[in-house]
Amino acid sequence: MTTIKDISRACGVSPATVSKALNGYSEISKETVDLVRRTAKEMHYMPDAAARLLKTNISHNIGVLFEDGTMSGLTHEYFSLILNSVKKEAEKLGYDITFISRYIGGQEVSFLEHCRYRRCDGVVIACVDFESAPVIELVRSEVPIVTIDYTFDNISCILSDNIEGNRKLTSHLIEAGHRKIAFIHGEESSVTGKRLNGYYRALAEHGIPVREDYVLGARYHDPESSEKMTRKLLDLADPPTAIMYPDDFSYLGGITEIGRRGLSIPEDISVTGYDGIKLASVVHPALTTWHQDADEIGRRSVQKLVETIEHRKTSEAEQINVSGELLGGYSVRTREA
Amino acid sequence: MTTIKDISRACGVSPATVSKALNGYSEISKETVDLVRRTAKEMHYMPDAAARLLKTNISHNIGVLFEDGTMSGLTHEYFSLILNSVKKEAEKLGYDITFISRYIGGQEVSFLEHCRYRRCDGVVIACVDFESAPVIELVRSEVPIVTIDYTFDNISCILSDNIEGNRKLTSHLIEAGHRKIAFIHGEESSVTGKRLNGYYRALAEHGIPVREDYVLGARYHDPESSEKMTRKLLDLADPPTAIMYPDDFSYLGGITEIGRRGLSIPEDISVTGYDGIKLASVVHPALTTWHQDADEIGRRSVQKLVETIEHRKTSEAEQINVSGELLGGYSVRTREA
DNA sequence: CTATAAATTTCAAACGATTTCGTAAAAGAT
DNA sequence: ATCTTTTACGAAATCGTTTGAAATTTATAG
């Protein structure tokens, strides 16, 4: 590997000058800069991130803490999309991304220790148990953090508009003439709480009393679980005319149970999902759902994190709401009042 | 941050001794080792990966090159699963993983340059255009590489058994009494080639002549595209009795078109998918498909890569086949001969 | 008690870059 | 011609760790 010394030798200048020329210091003459840059290119010079980090204390590396997809209750594709967007934006802003795990050299350590070991400039946290001790330790450390879909004091977070989203989605059903609207929510979490909140609000705004037997819990991303809840709902003496599912994928469980009973969507029963992933538009019938703007969420997280990293003193913790949109499908039927 | 020097001061020994004690050199006395280890723990010492790398030339960092060229990338569940498994196994073996991109500090560079910049010990490549110049450059460099689902001379690769898989899947249909079996394959690639190969073999083994009008190309992960091909097939004067889709997700496009014609699966037409992702088991009817063992593929890639890294001289390039299994669903109907 | 071997520990030089401070030369001012 | 300023560059320290060789201490032998 060519180093700065090799170049300095080839150019007949000192390593210091090479470094400065390469990094655009103004004190180096135009000719020297040109010479150095040219030889660097010719010799296929690449700076060494480690050496640079050692001296500058900047790794240009941001950690991502995304708990593994299958174990997490939340929608797999939604987080994959966020991760992808995080990656793209990070690249654009000059950062690489590394997964933060609880291992170093095969030994178990805390997330924070891992971050320090790799000297991450900052960390994006999503899709984890935010109330677990190792996560809290990291959040409360000196490491710049941005969380997604969870709020901590004094920590910036990017929030998908779960309250608004579910409120609008519920309102959409109400405006289509539904009064008996069931909501199958996912397992307890702050996201779930917000969606419930939105659901209740929409009902309240339209003066529809809440029926507790229409509010059931299932597990995110688990069609079997939603299938079971759908069964419960349809077995009620007075079944709902619309069912809201925890996420798009869970809708598949709904389809199964609804189909089993010979009912059809949306003629006999209306349904909605949540997420707005590709699946929603290719199932039959296409699902009316709330699209969460995963791209924007990923982008904003990194932008905010980088801002925090690069202007640590002036940058303030901020809660950023990213709004989604209603994605109309063919799974909701308008009922006459 | 506590450094080795802080510990050396606290213990009254030299930094060298601390380093050796921490790294288990046998020449250090038991008492010193204990003392050093204890104080290191007390002072919350964490080694600095960068400094260590600088000296040892080992980053304990493996790069992953997972591109989302076709917009599938990370969102494609099969690859997400592989990535996840790669991550887990890497952690277990003491490596972190970093995404290899084509950017450093926002500037465009080659993959190889990025690897050198971060000094990746090795790279797992999957899901990219293996025939593009930047990928070839990386593969042909001195960096240890393992590829997934693509073969290069002298480079280890992990192969999902696409030939066998599709052969067995096709045979399964034949054994169920089908003779008119259409195969909608994905876009051209080595994987597609192998699956075609498996399809042809199965037909040949059973003495069934190939009907070229039953072999159509669609795009992976694109139900609309498969929907269109399904239409073509069903419009044939002599339509097939079974359709094999490029992947599980594409099956959804098939369902749409088949349903539109009032046909049902599997009574009127049998179908199969490929991948064996969760979706296959929760759609209706559950899909008969070939399950690719993404977990095993990820695991073996990292194992082989680490072997290559750690025993560079003795380790030989190897092609490892990971076999999958037929996942029975309810989408194939047995026909009387 | 030496002399020698064995067991510990320390020295000091790296690794590859950045950066502060100093200096020499060139340019500008008086 | 002298003094001041500016411009361009270099010397050397430093970041935190590792490692082979040298030095020191301790143990063993003669």
**DSSP codes of every residue in B30-96:** HHHHHHHHHHHHHTT----HHHHHHHHS---EEEEEE--TTS-GGGSHHHHHHHHHHHHHHHHTT-E
Which residues 104-143 on chain B approach chain A with CB closer than 8 angstroms? 104-106, 113-114, 116-119
pLDDT the model gives residue A334:
87
Using the beta-carbon criterion (under 8 Å), do A50 and B73 form an inter-chain contact?
A: no
Amino acid (one-letter) located at B118: R
What mean pLDDT is predicted for residues A28-49? Answer: 95
Into how many domains does chain B fold? 3
In this prediction, residue A72 has a pLDDT band, given cuts at 50, 70 and 90, of very low
Nearest CB among B68, B96, B282 relative to A223 is that of B282
Q: Kindly tell me if the per-residue pLDDT of A227 is higher than 80.
A: yes
pLDDT for residue A73 is more than 70: no
Minimum-distance residue to C18 (CA–C1'): A55
Using CB atoms, pick whichever of B96, B116, B279 lies closest to residue A118. B96
Q: Are strands B122-126 and B145-148 parallel, antiparallel or unpaired?
A: parallel
State the distance between the two ends of chain A, measured CA to CA, in whole angstroms: 76
User: Taking every pair of C-alpha atoms in chain B, what is the biggest distance, in angstroms?
Assistant: 90
What dihedral angle (degrees, nearest 10) is formed by the CA atoms of A68, A70, A75, A77?
80
Please give the pLDDT value at position B61. 97
Same domain for B153 and B32: no
Whether the pTM exceeds 0.75: the reply is yes
Nucleotide nearest to A20 (CA to C1'): C18
A93 and A155, same structural domain?
A: yes
B183 and B145 in one domain?
no
Whether the per-residue pLDDT at A305 is higher than 60: the answer is: yes
Euclidean distance between CA atoms B133 and A298, whole angstroms: 29
Instruction: List residues with CB under 7 Å of strand D.
Output: A 12-17, 26-32, 51, 54-55; B 1, 3-5, 15-16, 19-20, 22-23, 45-48, 51-52, 54-56
Confidence of residue A284 (pLDDT cuts 50, 70, 90): confident
Domain presence at residue A93: yes
Mean pLDDT of the region A102-124: 96
For chain A, state the CA radius of gyration.
26
Q: If contacts are CB pairs under 8 Å, which of residues 71-100 in chain A contact chain B?
A: 76-77, 80-81, 83-84, 87, 91-94, 96-99
Give me the CATH number covering residue B24.
1.10.260.40
Assigned domain for A56 exists: no
Tell whether B180 and B212 lie within a shared domain.
Answer: yes
Give nearest nucleotide to A14 (CA–C1'): D10
Q: B169 with B104, same domain?
A: no
Residue in chain A closest to B83 (alpha carbons) equals: A68
Q: Integer distance in angstroms from CA B69 to C1' D10?
A: 48
Amino acid at A62: I
Same domain, A126 and A200: no
Q: Are residues A205 and A220 in the same domain?
A: yes
Question: C18 C1' – A18 CA distance, angstroms?
Answer: 11
CB pairs under 8 A between A and B: 135
Instruction: Determine, yes or no, domain membership for B90.
Output: yes
Q: What is the DSSP string of A37-81?
A: HHHHHHTT----HHHHHHHHS---EEEEEE--TTTSSS-HHHHHH
The Cα of A251 is separated from the nearest Cα of chain B by a number of Å equal to 10
Q: Round to a whole number and report the distance in Å from the CA of B230 to the C1' of D16.
A: 63
- pLDDT at residue A336 in the model: 66
- Range scoring the smallest mean pLDDT among A68-77, A154-163, A303-312, B167-176: A68-77
If asked whether residues B191 and B262 sit together in one domain, one would say yes
**DSSP conformational letter for B212:** G
pLDDT score recorded for residue B72: 47
pLDDT band of A168, cuts 50, 70, 90: very high
Would B329 be classed as within a structural domain?
A: no
Q: Does B134 share its domain with B39?
A: no
Of the residues A65, A71, A99, A123, the best mutation for testing chain B's interface (the one with the most B CB atoms within 10 Å of its CB) is A99
Q: Which residue of A has its CA nearest to B116?
A: A46
Q: What was the pLDDT predicted at B1?
A: 87
A2 CB within 8 Å of a chain B CB? no
Residue at B265 is within a domain: yes
The answer to whether residue A328 is domain-embedded is no
Contact at CB, B74 and A83, closer than 8 angstroms: yes
A172 and A281 assigned to the same domain: yes
Residue B52 domain-assigned?
no
- Which residues from chain B sit within 8 angstroms of residue A282, using beta carbons? 223-224, 249, 252-253, 256
Q: Nearest residue on chain B to A85, judged by CA atoms? A: B74
Name the band, by pLDDT with cuts 50, 70 and 90, for residue A74.
very low
- Same domain flag for A277 and A186: yes
Tell how far CA B9 is from the center of its chain: 48
CB contact under 8 A, B92 and A103: yes
CATH number of residue B114's parent domain: 3.40.50.2300
pLDDT, residue B336, reads 66
Distance from first CA to last CA of chain B, Å, rounded?
76
The set of strand C positions with any atom below 7 Å of a protein CB reads: 7-12, 14-20
B282 vs A92, A113, A253: nearest CB: A253
Structural domain containing residue A100: 61-160+295-323
Query: For B18 and C4, how far is CA from C1' in angstroms?
Result: 29
Indicate if B149 and B167 belong to the same structural domain. no
Q: Return the residue of A nearest to B52 by Cα.
A: A50
The stretch A135-140 carries a mean pLDDT of 97
**By three-state DSSP, how is residue B224 classified?**
helix
Q: Do A84 and B98 touch (CB under 8 A)?
A: no
Which residue stretches of chain B have pLDDT < 70? 68-75, 336-337
